[in-house]
A and B are shown apart, each in its own frame.
Chain A
Amino acid sequence: MKKVNRDVLIDASTRLLFSMKGEELDTLLEEFSILTKQMEMMKEVRGIEKFEPMTFPFDVSNSYLRDDVPAEPLSEEDVLKNAGNVKDGEIKLPKVVG
C-alpha cells in the first residue's frame, strides 16, 4: 500500500481536480491514519481472503437488454441549457491540448 503523507494527499486531490487547504489536509491525514489502521486490523478477521470481493448486495443478475430502438433526442436548446459556456451550438472550453 502506498504510504499516506501530505504530498500523496495533495497529489490525489490535484488529480481529482480540486485543491484543499492546509487544515483540511490535516483533518484528512488524521482520518487516513484511523481508516488505514482499521482496515489493517480487518486483515485479521477470520479467513477474509476466502471471501470474494462483493459488489452487489446479493447474488443478483438478470437478462434484460434494451432493444435497439432510438429515442427522441434532446433539443439543442435543452442540451446546452445547463451549460455555463456555449458557442455555436456546442459547449465551449479553454483550449484542450491533446
Chain B
Amino acid sequence: MNYLDMDILSLHEALVEKKTTPLELCKEAIRRAKENDCNAFEKILEEEALKEAEQLVEPEKDNVLWGIPYLAKDNFSTKGIETTASSNVLKGYVPLFDAEVIARLKERKCVLIAKTSLDELAMGGTGTTSHIGMTYNPYDPSHERMVGGSSSGSAAALASGIGSFALGSDTGDSVRKPASFAGLVGMKPSWGRISRFGLFPFAPSLDHVGYFTRDVASSAVLLSFLAGRDDKDMTSSYRPVEDYASYLDKGISGVRVCYFSEIVSSLKDETMKEKFLSSLEELKKRGAIVEEVSFGLDLLKAVYPAYMVISCAEATSNDANLDGIKFGPYYDGKNYEEAMSKARTAGFSELIKRRFVIGSYCLMAENQEELFLRAQRLRHMIVDRLSEIYQNHDIVYLPAAPSIAPRFVDASDKLSAEYLIDDNHLALGNFAGLPSITVPLAFESGMPLGVNAMARAYEEGPLFAFAKALEEISGLSGLSVMNKKEGKL
C-alpha cells in the first residue's frame, strides 16, 4: 500500500517521521492522475503542484494537513488557474481570487493536484454533461457505468486513489450520491458551516461545500479546518468549530436512529434492501435504538419537483452573469443582445438551457404563486416534518441511492414522470441544511453501494460518531480501486 492510500492522520504521521515527503506524494498522485482513464480532470496541475510540494521540506508537526495532496471540483475559484465549472461559457476564465476553502487549504499547505470535471455548472447528477464529456466510474473498467454527479471528477479521481481528499459541492446530492457510487465517504455539513465564498453558485439556498474522503476519520479531521465563520459569506455561521475527530470513538449506544418506511419499501434492488436491513441489525447490536418512521409519501413525492423549481429558479438568476462580456468567450454582434445571446447560446449545453427556462418560468409574476412560492411552501412543510422527526430521533438513516451506479444507457437527465423517491431523498438534507454523510456499505457485482445518515443542524459531531460505527460495521475504510476490499456485510 502506498502512503497516498492512507487516511489523513496516518499519512501525517508518516510525513512527520519523514517516511515519505509531500513531493513523493505529489509525484505519485500526478502519476496516477495521468494514468487515469475516467475523464475526471479539467486540468492536472502538474507544474504548480510539484513546485509547491518541493518547497515543503520541514514537516509541521501540529499541522495535520501539511503536504497533503487533494483535488478540487472545477467550480471552486482558484486564483491564476483557469476555472470553467466544465462549461464552455467560462472557457479561458482565470479567476483573480481563491475560494475561501482553497485559501484555507493553501494556508495549511495542502497541495492541489488537479481541478476535477463536473456536470456543467454543477447542474446534473450523472457526470455526463461536462464540456469534456462523460466521467466514468473507476470500479467499472468497461466504462459502462456512471460515477454520478455533479461532483463526478472528484469522486472518480478520489476512488482512483489520487490524493487524500477531494472538494465537491452539493446542492441536491452532488457529493453524497457519487460517494455512494464510488465507495467513498461523502460529507456535506450544515448550511453555513463552510464558507461558500468562491464556490460558483448553482442555487445558494441549497448549495453546500462538501468533500470526499476514503474514511470517516479523515472526514471529521478535515471539517475542523474547513468549517468556520467567514465574513466574505454573510450566510456563514458564527457557531464555534468543534474538534470533530473527538466524537469518532463515542459509539452509538442509546442513539435514536430512524429510517423512512416509504423509502425502504420502494427499493427495488434486493441486495441494497438486504444489506441495508442487516446493517440495521448491526446498529442495534451496538446499542442504537432503531425505529421505522413514516415520513409521509406525499411530502417525499414533493421533494423532487420542489427541488427542481427552487434550484432552477435560483440558477437562472445566478448564471445571468455569464454573458461573455466580463469574462468567458466574447462574441461580436450588431447589438448587445446579439453579442450576449451568441455567447450564451454557444456556451450552455441543452440541459442547462432547459433548466434556465424552467427556473425563469417559475419566477414569472403570473406563475410565482403556483410554482416558485408553492415549492418554497413545500420546502417549509418538509423542513417542519424533519424537525418533528428530530424531536424523537437523532439520526435519519437511509440508503444513499436505490442501487449501485447505473449504466449510462439507463440514465437520463430529463425530468421523470415517475416519483423516484428513493433516488431523490438526499435533497432533504439540502432543504433543511442538515449535516449529511454517505459511507460505503457493501458491494454488489464489484460495484459499491452506499448509505446515508443525516443529523440535526450543526450536530456534525454525533453524525461522525454514527458514520464511524457504520464504517466499522461495513469494514470498508480506506476504499479505492487501488485498495479494494470485500467488506463485512
Q: Which A residues contact B (CB, under 8 angstroms)?
A: 1-2, 4, 8-9, 12-21, 24, 27-28, 30-32, 34-36, 38-40, 42-46, 48-49, 51-58, 60, 62, 64, 66, 74, 78, 81-85, 91, 93-97
Contact = CB atoms under 8 A, between A and B. Distances in A.
Nearest to A23: B350
Interface in B388-428: 414-417
Contacts of A51: 377-378, 380-381, 384
A38 B330 CA distance: 39
B165 interface: no
Contact of B326 (A35, A58, A62, A91): A91
Nearest to B304: A38
A54 B325 contact: no
A84 B330 contact: yes
Given A39-B309, A45-B378, A83-B325, A18 B231 contact: no
Given A2-B367, A34-B417, A39-B370, A57 B432 contact: yes
B348 interface: yes
B381 A15 contact: no
Contacts of A4: 361
19 contacts: A12-B360, A20-B350, A30-B415, A31-B358, A32-B361, A35-B305, A35-B358, A39-B305, A39-B370, A45-B302, A45-B378, A49-B377, A51-B384, A53-B373, A54-B380, A57-B206, A60-B192, A60-B235, A96-B335
Interface in B98-123: none
A57 B430 contact: yes
Which size class do B's interface residues fall under? 35 or more
B374 A43 contact: yes
B338 interface: yes
Contacts of B378: 42, 45, 48, 51
Given A13-B357, A18-B353, A34 B416 contact: yes
Contacts of B301: 38
Given A45-B381, A53-B376, A94 B302 contact: no
A17 B341 contact: yes
- Shortest 6 CB-CB distances between A and B: which pairs? A84-B330, A57-B433, A53-B376, A82-B327, A54-B380, A38-B305
Given A40-B370, A83-B327, 15 more contacts: A2-B361, A16-B353, A17-B337, A18-B341, A31-B354, A39-B309, A43-B374, A53-B373, A53-B376, A57-B433, A57-B457, A58-B383, A82-B94, A82-B328, A94-B338
Contacts of B379: 53-54
Given A45-B381, A55-B376, A27 B333 contact: no
Contacts of B335: 94-97
Contact of B330 (A27, A39, A45, A85): A85
B353 A24 contact: yes
Contacts of B371: 1, 36, 39
B316 interface: yes
B145 interface: no
Contacts of B93: 82
B70 interface: no
Interface in B356-375: 356-358, 360-361, 364, 366-367, 370-375
Contacts of B380: 51-54
B340 interface: yes
A78 B96 contact: yes
A85 B332 CA distance: 9
